[in-house]
Structure 1
């Protein structure tokens, strides 16, 4: 009976695992695996048992109806019934089996934990060896993602640098434009100043020539008598002024 139940549960687990693997493979082929709807298969762990071989579910079944002692009472009553009705005869094979059971029980309690720990360690080592490639692949992909993010950040920095260079070029063009405008202003002002100074010089020369011409002509027009009369008049005016003071 127990062997049938164990075989059925193992077959159910195997079929469920196969279905999960098939669905997971289909999703992997399509693209990124859907971990939520198609989780990865997990290594199955044996259920809890009592007395070394009786499943915990049997005790839970009795516990809801008969309490804690129900399963043990059922087992003892069933054994008593089988023995009293000689359905199960206590022949010499029974005592041989009882002796073997005691030896197995002693070996299990004595060496069982150590063997179980060693087997668990071996199983974990095999599982870690199987997962090592996948974990390393995941790490490599995560590192590639980080490097891609860094490259994108650097590309954004290059865009900012190019923008700054464009602004610098525009500033240089503006400075060159202003410098040329200042040069043009300076040259135009210098030429205008030259024309103004030229006009001033020509006007002064004309005035000087006109004054010289007027003086020379007036001097030529004055006779010696007129010059003597003008001098006498000036002397008279000076004397009159001196008398007043």
Structure 2
């Protein structure tokens, strides 16, 4: 870290070597003068200027790159910005959920498959035992006095792995499954929330499709209300006019009744005034004579 900071300063010749290596020397600490505040300020300013230049250069480099987000309708990740990459022979790295299959607790399964294609089923086993025999014959594997300890240790390891291995594996798989469930629960919750939002958006779109029909219905309702108000006012006007006309008719009828009654009373009174007592007696005697004639004729 110190060399990274001092290298550009030494190359530029801005600081002397005595100042750069002053903290490394005891004599420079106790017997030499400390740097002034102006030197510290100039050093800080130069460092900030260099950082700004580096950041500007990096931004220029990034701005010159035209990042692509999609290619042929497929989303591109940061490591897939260039579709010319050979994704078949050099696919992007993916973390495996489980390790590769092995035999004998440490030999990869791919090695056995490689021998199956070349030598058949017995090839890897013959290679393994032949390699052991070759090691013994060339004394690469020396049968020393502690060889039995190795055999006992191997047997103990195999026994522990067979007895304790499944339990430990279950514990680690449980931890791994808890982590996976934690992350998948977050993803599933996000998917569920997104599904609810999409369902709500779809319902909103369906409701938006019927906005025109709703507007037409509201227009019809308003027109019906206006028609009802118009008819109600027409009825009120008809009733008001009818009441006035009925009043005029009743007034004329009352006037005519009054005039007829008054005329009848006047005529009756005038007639009564014109009839004398002798005329009444004569008319009464004439009526009696007519009644006698009618009675005699009926016999």
| TM-score, L = length of structure 1 | 0.53
Going from structure 1 to structure 2, the CA distance change for 1:106 and 1:61 (only over 3 Å counts) comes to: same
Among 50, 56, 65, the residue aligned to 2:109: 56
Is 1:118 aligned to 2:118, yes or no?
no
Partner of 2:62: none
User: How many residues are aligned here?
Assistant: 205
Partner of 2:256: 203
Is 1:92 aligned to 2:142, yes or no?
yes
Shift of 1:210: 1.8
Shift of 1:217: 3.6
Is 1:240 aligned to 2:293, yes or no?
yes
Partner of 2:55: none
Going from structure 1 to structure 2, the CA distance change for 1:60 and 1:26 (only over 3 Å counts) comes to: closer
Contact 1:48 1:55 (C-alpha < 8 Å) held by counterparts: yes
Looking at structure 1, the residues matched to 129 and 274 of structure 2 have their Cα atoms a distance apart, in angstroms, of: 174
Looking at structure 2, the residues matched to 171 and 42 of structure 1 have their Cα atoms a distance apart, in angstroms, of: 70
Comparing 68-77 and 88-97, the one that deviates more = 88-97
The structure with higher relative contact order (CA 8 Å, sep 6+) is 1
Which consecutive residues of structure 2, in runs of 5 or more, have no partner in the other structure?
Answer: 1-75, 81-90
Greater share of helix: 1
Shift of 1:47: 1.6
Going from structure 1 to structure 2, the CA distance change for 1:143 and 1:193 (only over 3 Å counts) comes to: same
Is 1:47 aligned to 2:97, yes or no?
no
Going from structure 1 to structure 2, the CA distance change for 1:133 and 1:180 (only over 3 Å counts) comes to: same
Looking at structure 2, the residues matched to 194 and 40 of structure 1 have their Cα atoms a distance apart, in angstroms, of: 104
